[in-house]
């Protein structure tokens, strides 16, 4: 879902289309509602645009008929009334459950506000936002710790936004990396931001030490290449002799054999040899 939608409004229209919601009505207070058929038949579809329409909250409830079958839902509502004083909307909902008919069913706005108190398990929730980042972007979250962004995940039960990451630096300063499988990272909503060049260099330097490199085109980790056999004389390259060394820029001279191993010579006065050599351009291990 939402594969071709980038803005909150585009995502909303895609959701409305999938649910086949046609007759959308304004129920005041910035709320709109209609009856749809996704994720359940005759469900009550309610949404509200916020933050200059960059954010849209959508809540989908069971049909009135199915909702009245949820005894635990209304028993909890009754307890809320007894313990904390009955909110007007809450009271109208419970009165309808006890004595009402389909004809005098509560206003959808009553459900949107009253149910939000403690009963998220009785509804489906979507928090639609404009896309700020795409998969593979290097971003930071809390404590300015960088990670490779893999998407957003929202838990409707605790109403917390989390992000998926292919790899990132955890709060202990260690690399948290699950090869080719996105993992979840908790992050306060709105605090995600692009990583700085220094943060990117730190993250990819730690990935490099595992012997892997990040393929930004295939969205996966691959074994790092340490010998490029397609180099041409005068081409700018990166060289080193061990995995623990930092890559250094140089200009390729020629391939030679040294102790039975193919090495490369670089253009300089001493004609130095290196056992690891890769192209400079677009090399994530260095950048």
pLDDT tens digits, one per residue of 64-85: 778 777 777 777 767 766 665 5
CA 77, CA 117: separation in Å to the nearest integer? 9
CA 120, CA 218: separation in Å to the nearest integer? 37
- Tell me which H or E stretch contains 79: helix 71-84
pLDDT attached to residue 234? 94
Total tally of structural domains belonging to the chain: 3
Q: Could you tell me where the DSSP H helices lie in 152-269? A: 197-208
CB 286 within 8 A of CB 226: no
Determine the distance from the C-alpha atom of residue 27 to the mean position of all C-alpha atoms in its chain, rounded to a whole number. 32
Residues 11 and 110 in one domain: yes
Residues 214 and 252 in one domain: no
Residues 272 and 187 in one domain: no
Adjacent-strand bridge partners of 133: none
Residues 148 and 124 in one domain: no
Residues 118 and 146 in one domain: no
Residues 1 and 121 in one domain: yes
End-to-end CA distance of the chain: 34
Provide the residue range defining the domain that includes 112: 1-129
Determine the distance from the C-alpha atom of residue 278 to the mean position of all C-alpha atoms in its chain, rounded to a whole number. 33
Q: Residue 264's domain is classified under what CATH number?
A: 2.30.30.30
Residues 187 and 244 in one domain: no
pLDDT above 80: residue 88: no
- Tell me which H or E stretch contains 59: strand 55-61
Domain boundary among 129, 148, 163: 129
Confidence of residue 116 (pLDDT cuts 50, 70, 90): very low
Residues 234 and 287 in one domain: yes
Task: Report pTM.
Answer: 0.45
Residue with more model confidence, 51 or 54 = 54
DSSP state for residue 116 in the 8-state scheme = T
Adjacent-strand bridge partners of 125: 59
> Which of 6, 59, 11, 5 shows the shortest CA–CA distance to 31?
59
Domain boundary among 99, 129, 159: 129
Residues 28 and 115 in one domain: yes
Residues 194 and 278 in one domain: no
Residues 148 and 211 in one domain: yes
Residues 122 and 166 in one domain: no
């Amino acid at each position: 879902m939402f594969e071709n939608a980038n803005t909150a409004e585009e995502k909303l229209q895609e959701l409305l289309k999938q649910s086949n919601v046609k007759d959308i009505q304004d129920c005041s207070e910035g709320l709109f509602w209609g009856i749809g058929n996704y994720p359940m038949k005759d469900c009550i579809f309610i949404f509200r645009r916020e933050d200059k329409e960059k954010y849209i909250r959508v809540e989908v409830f069971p049909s009135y008929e199915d909702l009245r079958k949820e005894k635990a839902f209304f028993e909890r509502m009754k307890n809320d009334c007894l313990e904390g004083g009955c909110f007007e909307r809450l009271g109208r909902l419970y009165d309808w459950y006890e004595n009402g008919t389909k004809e005098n069913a509560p206003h959808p706005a009553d459900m949107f506000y009253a149910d939000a108190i403690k009963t998220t398990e009785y509804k489906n929730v979507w928090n639609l936002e404009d896309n700020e980042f795409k998969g593979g972007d290097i971003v930071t979250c809390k404590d300015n710790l960088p990670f490779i962004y893999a998407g957003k995940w929202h838990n409707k039960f605790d109403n917390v936004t989390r992000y998926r990451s292919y790899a990132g630096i955890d709060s202990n300063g260690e690399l948290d990396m699950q090869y080719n499988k996105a993992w979840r990272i908790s992050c306060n909503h709105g605090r995600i931001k692009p990583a700085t060049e220094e943060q990117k260099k730190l993250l990819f330097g730690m990935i490099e030490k595992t012997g892997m490199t990040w393929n930004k085109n295939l969205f996966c980790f691959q074994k790092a290449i340490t010998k490029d056999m397609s180099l041409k004389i005068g081409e700018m390259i990166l060289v080193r002799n061990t995995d623990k060394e930092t890559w250094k820029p140089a200009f390729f001279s020629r391939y030679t054999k040294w102790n039975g191993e193919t090495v490369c010579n670089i253009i300089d006065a001493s004609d130095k040899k290196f056992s690891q050599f890769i192209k400079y351009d677009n090399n994530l291990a260095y950048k």
